[in-house]
Structure 1
Amino acid sequence: MTKRHVSLPADAKDVRRAFVSGVDERLSAAETPDELATAVTGTLADLRGERDAYEAWRDGDDVRPAAAARLATLDPRNASLESEYYAEKDEAAFARSKPLQWLWRQFDTTPLADNVDVALPFRRMLAGHLFAGVGEDVRLFKGITMTYGHNIELGDNAVVHDGVHLDDRGELVVGARASVSNGAHLYTHDHDVVDQTDVTNYRTEIGADARVTQGALVRAGVRVGENALVGSRSVVQGDVPAHHIAVGSPAESVRVKPGWEAVAAPLDAGGERRQAERRLDDAVPADAAVYDEFQRDRSPPGER
């Protein structure tokens, strides 16, 4: 789509640059996870206008319990995320990604998250600290969620729109100039159909120039090929070949993009399931203290 340039007043641009570069410097100077958490805490206290209240509470001033809970969770060390409970995660990598992900999520609850001229540069900067790899001119919109962040790679000019879930319990790669539309979910892990506590992680790939459109779901271990298109609300369970258009649940290739017929695979090549090739060897550490949150008897009736 052709777009037009939008220019904010010069003084507003200067304020935005100072804000984003200042946070970038804080994060870059942090050498340990604790230093990173401290940098995030200060940033969130400033973003919410609660620096004085936070420092007073930290130094021992009495406040109401609700205020104490709010001020305490400016510090990511006083908060937990769902992914923190995953037994197989890389603990060292998560120690650094957790404060950054906390900053990402909390930033999106502030008024600045709706100011595109501020929010896109901020998220692009933050992605440079959080993601495994991030290209130039990436655009990341509001409400994006992720599992860890540190297993995500985005190519140049990739765009991820509002409300997208980037599951990187395994590995997730989104290629250059690819587009992921509002409300889409990209998965890299799957659960056993009998024992849902048995999780397998995969590498999921969205090829360069591909589009995953509104509300679509891409299953773990799938590859959406270069320049392919996944239709709205589709559920992709098998590979989508390059230049194909796939729609439905489960998604099936219904046509090749006009003009690309000579280089595209035939339509019946779509839907091949190759997850086994992209399975990751993520084992739970032997010393991890694990538990079964469901405590179910999973034995079939005849085996009890």
Structure 2
Amino acid sequence: MATNPKPQPVASNQPHPTPEAEEVYRRWIRFLDEEFYRHRSPERRAEIVRDQLYQLYLGRPHGGKPNVTLSSELPGNVLGMSLDPENVTLEAEYFSGIDEAEFAIRKPLLWFWKMFDRSPIGLNLWLGMRFRCMLGRHIFDHMGSGVKIHQGVDLTYGYKLSVGDGAVIHQGVLLHDRGGITIGKNAVIGSFVRIFSHSYGNEGNDDVRLQPTKIGDGALIGSHEIIMGGANIGAGQVVGHYPAYKV
């Protein structure tokens, strides 16, 4: 079994936004955090997310009902309506065994997560990491401190996901937490890793077997690796190729 290579020290002069931009970013994240703590109903959360996405994508506040009679305006109407979580469906909603109540309060936030990452500002590393950690506190079963989540991480349920202190999840990772995924403290998940927590029996797609998956403390999962449902990656274990440092 491979063990965790010693990380190289991280430089103290990390890239940073301007003080003015940092203040605006922090205010926005703090505002959203307070709103999602204050409002747990799916309907109110959907309204909050809709209003935020309207400004991120269209540069204007949500302004009532669109004119749906003109064919020339249909593409714009499709875009505007799709910014509202109540008008979209997600793959997880089609799965058997979903906890509908737990998913309902998270669905607007899952849509916010996906659409933020697909917006131009989703590429803003400093802002994006802080935004995702804030949102993760309202989505995940557990979100530790000092977690870093890069762009394009895809979630399934969210409420069956636990992420420990100091964990790093790189870009493009799939966390298919249908059966539950636990990522330990200071674990590092490389880019485009696929982590599953279920498998299929002999009866096809309807024969789903939920198998919780655990990534131990300090484990390193190399880029593009696939972790199958039920795997138990030990503390400090290295799966695949991983360099002797983390970013």
Counterpart check, 1:83 vs 2:92: yes
- Residues 68-121 of structure 1 show CA distances to partners (whole Å, capped at 9, x for unaligned) of 111001111100011111121001001011111000000001121111111100
Shift of 1:50: 4.2
**Superposed counterparts of 1:263-274, under 5 Å:** none
Secondary structure of the equivalent of 1:153?
strand
Aligned-residue sequence identity (percent) comes to 30
- Residues 189-221 of structure 1 show CA distances to partners (whole Å, capped at 9, x for unaligned) of 111144232101111000000001111011101
Q: Tell me, in whole angstroms, the C-alpha distance in 2 between the residues paired with 1:62 and 1:12.
A: 41
- The equivalent position to 2:74 in structure 1, one of 65, 70, 73, is 65
**Superposed counterparts of 1:254-293, under 5 Å:** none
Secondary structure of the equivalent of 1:34?
helix
Residue in 2 aligned with 1:261? none
Residue in 2 aligned with 1:149? 158
The answer to whether the Cα contact below 8 Å between 1:188 and 1:219 also exists between their aligned partners in 2 is yes
- The equivalent position to 1:14 in structure 2, one of 23, 31, 39, is 23
Q: Cα distance 1:159–1:224, how it changes in 2: closer, same or farther (>3 A)?
A: same
Shift of 1:26: 2.2
Secondary structure of the equivalent of 2:213?
strand
Residue in 1 aligned with 2:3? none
Residue in 2 aligned with 1:276? none
Counterpart check, 1:55 vs 2:66: no
Shift of 1:25: 2.1
Which fold has the larger relative contact order, with Cα–Cα distance below 8 Å and residues 6 or more apart in sequence?
2
- The equivalent position to 2:141 in structure 1, one of 132, 135, 145, is 132
Counterpart residue identity of residue 212, structure 2:
R
- Residues 2-22 of structure 1 show CA distances to partners (whole Å, capped at 9, x for unaligned) of 322323321121111112112
Residue in 2 aligned with 1:205? 214
The answer to whether the Cα contact below 8 Å between 2:154 and 2:172 also exists between their aligned partners in 1 is yes
Counterpart check, 1:168 vs 2:177: yes
Q: Cα distance 1:46–1:15, how it changes in 2: closer, same or farther (>3 A)?
A: same
Residue in 2 aligned with 1:113? 122
Q: Tell me, in whole angstroms, the C-alpha distance in 2 between the residues paired with 1:24 and 1:194.
A: 43
The answer to whether the Cα contact below 8 Å between 1:23 and 1:43 also exists between their aligned partners in 2 is no
**Superposed counterparts of 1:211-226, under 5 Å:** 211-226=220-235
Counterpart residue identity of residue 135, structure 1:
G
The answer to whether the Cα contact below 8 Å between 1:176 and 1:208 also exists between their aligned partners in 2 is yes
Q: Tell me, in whole angstroms, the C-alpha distance in 2 between the residues paired with 1:189 and 1:116.
A: 31
Q: Tell me, in whole angstroms, the C-alpha distance in 2 between the residues paired with 1:49 and 1:195.
A: 43
- The equivalent position to 1:3 in structure 2, one of 1, 10, 17, is 10
- The equivalent position to 2:189 in structure 1, one of 155, 176, 180, is 180
Secondary structure of the equivalent of 1:200?
strand
Q: Tell me, in whole angstroms, the C-alpha distance in 2 between the residues paired with 1:48 and 1:165.
A: 25
The answer to whether the Cα contact below 8 Å between 1:207 and 1:225 also exists between their aligned partners in 2 is yes
**Equivalent pairs, count:** 231
- Residues 144-192 of structure 1 show CA distances to partners (whole Å, capped at 9, x for unaligned) of 0011111100000001000000011011000000000001011001111
Counterpart residue identity of residue 24, structure 2:
V
Counterpart residue identity of residue 27, structure 2:
A
The answer to whether the Cα contact below 8 Å between 2:68 and 2:77 also exists between their aligned partners in 1 is no
Secondary structure of the equivalent of 1:51?
coil
Q: Tell me, in whole angstroms, the C-alpha distance in 2 between the residues paired with 1:35 and 1:88.
A: 25
Q: Cα distance 1:194–1:232, how it changes in 2: closer, same or farther (>3 A)?
A: farther
Q: Tell me, in whole angstroms, the C-alpha distance in 2 between the residues paired with 1:49 and 1:71.
A: 8
* TM-score using structure 2 length: 0.89
Q: CA RMSD in A?
A: 1.7
The answer to whether the Cα contact below 8 Å between 1:182 and 1:214 also exists between their aligned partners in 2 is yes
The answer to whether the Cα contact below 8 Å between 1:215 and 1:232 also exists between their aligned partners in 2 is no
Residue in 2 aligned with 1:93? 102
Residue in 2 aligned with 1:41? 50
The answer to whether the Cα contact below 8 Å between 2:68 and 2:74 also exists between their aligned partners in 1 is no
Larger Rg: 1 or 2? 1
The answer to whether the Cα contact below 8 Å between 1:164 and 1:182 also exists between their aligned partners in 2 is yes
Shift of 1:59: 6.0
